Amino acid sequence: MKFTEFDLHENVLKGIEKAGFTEAMPVQEKAIVHVLKGRDVGVQSQTGSGKTAAFLIPLLQYFSETDRKEWKKALIIAPTRELVVQIENEISILGSYVDITEGSFYGGVGYGKQESLVSKGVDVIIGTPGRLIDFGKSGKIKFKDFGFVIIDEADRLFDMGFYPDIKMMMQMMVPREKRHTMLFSATLSTRVMNLAWEYMNNPVTVNIEAQSMTVNEISQVLYHVSTAEKMSLLLGVLKKENPGSAIIFTNTKYAAVELTERLKVNGYDVHYIMGDLPQRKRL
């Protein structure tokens, strides 16, 4: 199904075109239809399935077709700072022709820029639970102002221990009948469904099955080598393939640092990323 087949505002369609989208992916097609009808949705869909656009496009449609005086703010809750930034980047592209302001709220950085966004009036807040609750407790964010609430990667949020925080925020919002709630998760576990039953208004369940564990366009090769042979093999593979870019996973932080230094000695432009890095360096 093409995006032009949805009854979308021309400014939303222009943003979709700018993003390079033409055909709706399964999660987008199934979720957007229900959300445009005003229904809450609980969506099971894997990372990389296109779910971000599935909730951003209906959100942008709301802002495009609603009089500004009647606008209600939108809240998007995500498990990690990196995902928050990724969602903000995507909404800035898809919403290029929709006159809204969006902002990221996460820990590990100062409060100044985020406080400035709130004081100036931000339409879409994308944040991690900890920083959102900080702003809520200080009164800088009023959870009753949100007419749209989107919980992204709910199962990861719960695995990371944020289940009580999500419940706390939901309890501070207007009743479920007065807001539009969307929940996205790789699995619709009991905890995820409990949240849906308690805080969502008769949600439609959308289940997008993973196509496969592997992607046909990716070639996969396994080498059985000793620890002593790993570095020379890696250098050989890099020389043979000569990739424009590459990502290497290690099983420890120490190994990431060591491998980075060894690759630098061999002339590669390389950097490591890990949880111990300050947020500025991670970004």
3-class secondary structure per residue, 185-245: ECCCCHHHHHHHHHHCCCCEEEECCCCCCCCCCCCCCCCCCCHHHHHHHHHHHHHHHCCCC
Q: Residue 51: its pLDDT value, please? A: 87
Provide the pLDDT confidence category of residue 233 given band limits of 50, 70 and 90: very high
Residues 6+ apart with CB under 8 A from 44: 185, 186, 187, 188, 205, 206, 207, 208
Q: Copy the structure tokens of residue 88.
A: 């903000």
Give rounded-to-5 percent helix, strand, coil for the chain. Answer: 50, 10, 40
Q: What is the percent of the chain where pLDDT is above 90?
A: 67
Percent of the chain with pLDDT over 70: 98
Rounded mean pLDDT of 71-83? 93
How do residues 188-202 score in pLDDT, each as one tens digit? 888 888 888 889 999
Residue/partner pairs of 112-119 with CB below 8 Å, 24 or more apart? 115/140
Alpha carbon distance 51, 174 (integer Å): 25
155-169: per-residue pLDDT in tens?
899 889 999 999 999
DSSP conformation class of 138: T
In the predicted model, is pLDDT for residue 275 greater than 90?
no
**Range of lowest pLDDT (42-51, 76-85, 207-216):** 207-216
Residue position matching structure tokens 């820990």: 107
pLDDT of 166 reads: 93
Between 150 and 277, name the one with better pLDDT: 150
Confidence of residue 240 (pLDDT cuts 50, 70, 90): very high
Element (H, E) at 74: strand 73-77
pLDDT for residue 193: 84
pLDDT band with cut points at 50, 70 and 90 for residue 69: confident
Q: How confident is the model at residue 108 (pLDDT cuts 50, 70, 90)?
A: confident
Average pLDDT over residues 83-112: 93
Going by C-alpha positions, the residue among 95, 86, 90, 88 that lies closest to residue 15 is 95
Read off the pLDDT band of 242 (50, 70, 90). very high
Domains of the chain: 3-207 (3.40.50.300), 227-282 (no CATH)
Q: To the nearest whole number, what is the mean pLDDT of the chain?
A: 90
Give residue for tokens 């709130």: 118
| Separation between Cα atoms, residue 80 and residue 73, nearest integer Å | 21
Q: What letter does residue 275 receive in the DSSP assignment?
A: T
* Contact in structure between 201 and 40 (CB atoms under 8 Å): yes
Q: Which of 228, 222, 238, 232 is nearest to 270 (CA)?
A: 238
